[in-house]
Amino acid sequence: MLASAAVRHGVRGARATQRGVVAAAGGSEKLTIFDTTLRDGEQSPGATMQATEKLAIAKQLSRMGVDVCEAGFPIASTGDFEAVQQIAKEVGSFVENRDSGVPMRIAGLSRATEGDIDRCYDAVRHADLSRVHTFLATRYAGSATRDAARLLLPAPRLR
């Protein structure tokens, strides 16, 4: 389903294969659908979801052929950790309507700190395929970090 959408929308070199894989003509590139609805979608005002709603959406994303579902930010709260863990346990081996027979990869978002990564892994590890998706925060309040960051930036030019 998603493979044919990529072809319809003109993804460069895309073609739908029998298993729903999107590949560039003459190459082995694959378009990976990485969905952030369950994490990023909650950033919209009034879009907070209950764990049962997140689970239902995760199952539907899997049925649609999404490759990776970023299920949440487990360090943010106990509720978010539990929702990500439940999705990993219940959807992480779910292959209903997946032509490939391979379950969707369940990811959690994590700052690049040991404690965050450990907490994220504890939530997603129950899935057959899991991922810890890390990021480096670029804005810190600490003056030492701010001063160190200034050393890496080019000095502004005065005219």
Task: Please check the confidence at residue 19 and state whether its pLDDT lies above 80.
Answer: no
**pLDDT classification of 29: cutoffs 50, 70, 90:** confident
CB 51 within 8 A of CB 79: yes
What does the domain layout of the chain look like in residue ranges? Answer: 1-31, 32-152
From CA 105, how far away is CA 87, in angstroms rounded?
A: 11
User: Strands, DSSP E only, in the chain?
Assistant: 14-16, 22-24, 34-35, 68-72, 105-111, 130-135
**pLDDT classification of 14: cutoffs 50, 70, 90:** low
Q: What is the mean pLDDT of the chain?
A: 80
Residue for token pair 């044919």: 4
Q: Diameter of the chain by CA atoms?
A: 64
Task: Please check the confidence at residue 6 and state whether its pLDDT lies above 90.
Answer: no
The CATH architecture one would assign to domain 32-152 is Alpha-Beta Barrel (3.20)
Task: Please check the confidence at residue 37 and state whether its pLDDT lies above 80.
Answer: yes
For the stretch 54-102, pLDDT in tens is: 999 999 999 999 999 999 999 999 999 999 999 999 999 999 999 889 9
Task: Please check the confidence at residue 111 and state whether its pLDDT lies above 90.
Answer: yes
> Sign of dihedral through CA atoms 115, 116, 121, 123?
positive
Q: What angle do CA 63, 54, 61 make, to 5 degrees?
A: 20
Per-residue pLDDT, 20: 47
Region 118-146: what's the mean pLDDT?
83
Residue for token pair 């959690």: 108
CB 70 within 8 A of CB 133: yes
pTM higher than the cut 0.75: no
Radius of gyration of the chain (CA): 19
Region 39-68: what's the mean pLDDT?
89
Task: Please check the confidence at residue 151 and state whether its pLDDT lies above 80.
Answer: no
**pLDDT classification of 43: cutoffs 50, 70, 90:** confident
CB 53 within 8 A of CB 87: no
From CA 121, how far away is CA 114, in angstroms rounded?
A: 10
Per-residue pLDDT, 45: 79
Per-residue pLDDT, 18: 42
